[in-house]
Chain A
Amino acid sequence: MERLTKSTVTGICTQMTSQLWKEAEISELTDPKLGVITGFQDLLEELDALGKIDLGTLPPAGAVQKDTV
């Protein structure tokens, strides 16, 4: 996967989003300064790795059920 660029994020954040985002927030996605959460590029790389793991037909998690021992 290619590295995310600011122009890509700018495109997403102006053409197909539910919210308006500030320039600084778009920059934070590609060049993190706050460091509060994982940088978005790092997250994307980790998601790419997760995407390569075969989960078969396992559905998404629902409500928990009492364990049977």
Chain B
Amino acid sequence: MHEDLAYASVRHLRHLLKNSAIGPRELVSLFAERISAHNDVSKAYITDTSALAEREADALEGTEALFGGIPFASKDLFDVKGVPTTAGSRVFYDRIADRDSTCVARLRKAGAVSLGKLNAHEFAYGATGENPHFGTCANAYDPTRIAGGSSSGSAAALAFGLAAFTLGTDTGGSVRVPAAFCGQVGLKPTAGLVPTTGVVPYCWTLDHVGIMARTVTDAADILSVIAGFDAEDPGSVNVPEENYAAGLEEGVSGLRIGIPRAFFYERCDAEILSHVEAVKRFLEDEGAKLVPVTFPDMSQTRTVSLTIQMPEALSAHSTHLRDRGDLYGEDFRAGLAVGQCILAEQYIRAKRFIARYRQETSRIFKDVDLVLTPATPIIAPKLGQSHVMVDGVSEPTGNAVTRYSTFFNMTGNPAVSVPCGMHSEGLPVSVQLVGRYFEEALVLRASRAIERNDKFAIPLPDLRTLKKQ
């Protein structure tokens, strides 16, 4: 397959399809061949349904549909009718979806074609993407390193050129972190904007559906298709439909961008900080005003998040844990046992802390339009690395990689990770932009301004040198 098609933006592929420069069947087949060639190394796909996709593509010849013939793939937590949903676990070995999840249904209605189901940390429990059942996704820039997680396959599929865009879920950074590690754009929309109906839950309070794409414009186009109220999702918020790509080229002039005084720039790789400084200078040069902001005390945010995650996960898994408990991975069962021992008052108190975080964060957004942070404090760690050392402090890998992202799952603000350069170790570096509720268009607009600057562009991975680890 031509590399230029494997790594083309959805916008470009739509242009080629519209002008009959390529047909839907041909495009799907090209991706199918590529999955066949690279899945052994990438481990991106759990279930490859590209043969089915080729037949669907035949029916899309000459279609006028917005995404007609665009091949995508979803994390294996999203139901796709007639296809297994494993959630990256043996527990769901016999679970075949009888209908599409809402997001997949909306994309298919727009003409997109599902290539298959993508690898993930078991039941989205963990940010490293390590999976004992289906293998751990490799990073396309260095296969000795992780792609990140929990939406590991969603990032790996894009970085290896195995789909035009992907869906993932983000409970503490599980879209933004792997997107950052693999040089992709990762969008976590406002809580409730994109329905979670038909997506295997991990933690209802913190779960968000997210998008990974090659470009900010693609992410905006995809969001325009999948956002919107769904009565079947109790967390869905009814807001007017929007074209999120409409004002993307308007730049950042006049915007006030908050720079956190503490926490988000602490215990961070020096080179990452240097890249973020370059982004700050660029935004100022473009007419944005940088404003120091003070977030609430972050020292207990992980505790608050865990105190909500584990009881909710236990509740979500109670039936299967009873019936198929032995099929769960050891680490996930241990986490669920923690959920069993958290008291109801502690859980409620944690949710009250979330209310406080939201109040204090909304106060910050009265003074600024956006907040800028590094997306992660470190580059992609090595496969199997349980702890990382940053500024002389050892930290569990899963904690470290989500340190800057988890907070915004609790507040529910929209957040994007967007590439801003390459680390000297040959891995992508990204910034995170966060906005007010339902102001995805503004977050994406500023992300697009960064993306448009060639200085922040990153090279494609060189797959010729990759070997199965």
Residues of A participating in the B interface, judged by any CB pair closer than 8 Å: 9, 12-13, 17-22, 24-26, 28-29, 32, 34-38, 40, 43, 46-47, 49-51, 55, 58-61, 63-67, 69
Contacts and interface: CB of A to CB of B under 8 A. Distances in A.
B303 A47 contact: yes
B267 interface: no
B331 interface: yes
Contacts of A13: 337, 340-341
B354 interface: yes
24 contacts: A9-B341, A12-B340, A13-B337, A13-B341, A19-B318, A19-B325, A34-B330, A36-B334, A36-B335, A37-B306, A37-B396, A38-B306, A40-B338, A43-B338, A47-B342, A50-B346, A50-B349, A55-B356, A58-B359, A60-B354, A61-B351, A61-B358, A67-B366, A69-B436
Contact of A40 (B341, B352, B439): B341
Contacts of A18: 314, 318, 340
Contacts, number: 127
Contact of A38 (B303, B318, B346, B362): B303
Interface of B: 126, 190-192, 205, 235, 237, 239, 300, 302-304, 306-307, 310, 314, 318, 321-322, 325, 330-331, 333-338, 340-342, 346, 348-356, 358-359, 362, 365-366, 386-387, 396, 398-399, 410, 412, 436-439
Given A18-B318, A64-B190, A66-B239, A26 B337 contact: yes
Contacts of A47: 303, 307, 342, 346, 349
Given A19-B321, A63-B192, A37 B335 contact: yes
B386 A21 contact: no
A43 B307 contact: yes
Nearest to B338: A40
A24 to B, nearest CB: 8
A40 B339 CA distance: 10
Contact of B438 (A34, A35, A43, A66): A66
Contact of B437 (A49, A51, A61, A67): A67
Contacts of B342: 47
A65 B437 CA distance: 7
Nearest to A65: B437
B300 A35 contact: no
A35 to B, nearest CB: 6
B273 to A, nearest CB: 26
A29 B334 CA distance: 8
A22 B356 CA distance: 37
B355 A61 contact: yes
Contacts of A65: 437
Contacts of A37: 306, 310, 334-335, 338, 396, 398
Given A43-B303, A47-B303, A60 B355 contact: yes
Nearest to A18: B318
Contacts of A69: 365-366, 436
A25 B237 contact: no
Nearest to A38: B306
B333 A25 contact: yes
Interface-central residue, B205, B318, B337, by most chain A CB under 10 Å: B337
Nearest to A40: B338
A67 B352 contact: no
A33 to B, nearest CB: 9
Contacts of A43: 303, 306-307, 338
Given A55-B356, A60-B355, A69-B365, 12 more contacts: A12-B341, A13-B340, A17-B340, A36-B335, A43-B306, A46-B303, A50-B304, A55-B353, A58-B355, A60-B354, A63-B237, A69-B436
A68 to B, nearest CB: 8
Contacts of A38: 302-303, 306, 399
A42 to B, nearest CB: 9
